[in-house]
Amino acid sequence: MKKSDFLERVFNLSGRNTSVKTEVFAGITTFMTIAYILAVIPGNLSETGIPRGAVFTATIISTIFATLIAGLYANLPFVFSALLGFDSFFVFSIVFGMGKSWQFALTSVLIAGIILTILTIFKIRITLSNVIPMNLKIAMVVGLGLFVTFIGLKNAGIVEAGGAILKIGDITKPEALLALFGIIVLSAMNYFKIKGSFLITIIGSTVVAVITGITSLPENIVSLPPSFMPTAFKFVGTEEIFTTDMAVCVFVFIFMSIFNNIGTVTGLSIKAGLTDENNEAKDMNKSFLVDSLGTIVAGCLGTSVVGTTLETSAGIEEGGRTGLMAVTSALMFVLALFFSPLFLIVPSAAITPVLVTVGLSMTSAVKAIDFDNITEAIPAFLTFIIIPLTYSIADGIMIGILSYVVLNIITGKFKQISLPMYAMGILSLVKMLFL
């Protein structure tokens, strides 16, 4: 059997109108777009005293584990890794805010992963996803588009804190100029339908960044990965597990994970065309199982909660439609274990053009929202505007669900609200008021 025949049988390439070349390009592009987390996640968690090198290796291994399952088991073009936002709760709420140890925080990650796995097996998470109204789901896509655009602009310094909330950054800085130039070049390549334009832009911008001194070549290209043993299986005892504080931490992780991954998987699936006749994401429960198992591994090895990465949208925009894209990205993370100095020189400004272009593509879904019905329009609008403003997918979805429930109650449309939507509305209110 030829290699191409084997890949066709495993990943159904022709059935999803793609090719090996497209999937590999998409996988490499996704990796290059998300590689910055290899510096950010360990840097953030190390603020708690947890060994940075161990977190680096634990993050990569949990990413490889979850992403390979996504590709080989679920045939999904999604990359799963430790998520920004969850690491902030880990550091600033659990360790600094509550005064707990990083071992306590890791234990809460593990317990959350176990409970999420149970909820997935009994299909409770997929039930919650299926009852969310379509307008809110489309709003999630739009919100993700605005969010990823904002991340790109902020990382390049094109916008920054100041003024009332934000202000234009110093666009004369080399990083901002490189990002703006990259946006123009990438847009031109997309106009002429040049394949691999995302990857070309990232690599080309990085080369320019090296030449102009924005970044520099590493002294060593190859290095052995740090050991994760200093953080592996470092859990607290039962006297700390069976406490109210642990219950609160686990609940917040679960709640954030459920809403974050419903929003991200829905948005990515719609963008990739992986939806059924009812426009529901196919194999969503499989993706939930992947992030649940990935979170268990993350807690055991020493990093934060694992979920579907927003940056996966870059690979999907590049044409990725199958698990081969995920497997390619996972293999790139394997290389990153040994070639991390080379991958980590890619500056944020080189990634910004990709994020802005992906944001434009996802935000275009706004035209499918029914803005004529105010009880549908306001929840959708709040969802997609609050996601980027709060830097939280989960918060945007919670506000959208709560406003949807309240508006339909006030307008007498009680029967339009399902019991799970009532439950999610109440939980959203409890989370915002008390946690």
CA–CA distances in Å: residue 261 to residues 139, 264, 286: 14, 5, 12
- Cα 210 → chain centroid: 28
Mind giving me the DSSP string for 23-45? Answer: HHHHHHHHHHHHTTHHHHHHHHH
**Ordered per-residue pLDDT tens for the chain, 435 residues:** 566 688 999 999 999 999 999 999 999 999 999 998 888 899 889 989 999 999 999 999 999 999 999 999 999 999 999 998 788 889 988 999 899 999 999 999 999 999 999 999 999 999 888 889 999 999 998 998 998 899 899 989 999 988 878 899 999 999 999 999 999 999 999 999 887 899 899 999 999 999 999 999 988 889 889 999 999 999 999 999 999 999 999 998 998 899 999 999 999 999 999 998 877 888 899 999 999 999 999 999 999 999 999 899 999 999 999 999 999 999 999 999 998 888 888 898 999 999 999 899 889 989 999 999 999 999 999 999 999 998 888 899 999 999 999 999 999 998 889 999 999 999 999 988 887
Around 106, how many Cα atoms within 13 Å sit in the side-chain half-sphere? 27
Query: 308: which strand partners?
Result: 80
Distance CA 145, CA 384 (A): 9
CB atoms under 10 Å from CB of 340, counted, come to 24
Query: 275: which strand partners?
Result: 281
Element holding 286 (H helix, E strand): helix 284-301
Annotated domain spans of the chain: 7-364, 370-434
Could you tell me the pTM of the whole model?
0.86
> Residue 172: CB partners within 8 Å, gap ≥ 6?
none
Mind giving me the DSSP string for 52-88? Answer: HHHHHHHHHHHHHHHHHHHHHTS-----EEEPTTHHH
Query: 167: which strand partners?
Result: 160
Mind giving me the DSSP string for 233-261? Answer: T----HHHHSSHHHHHHHHHHHHHHHHHH
Distance CA 141, CA 370 (A): 14
Measured between alpha carbons, how far apart are the two ends of the chain, in Å? 56
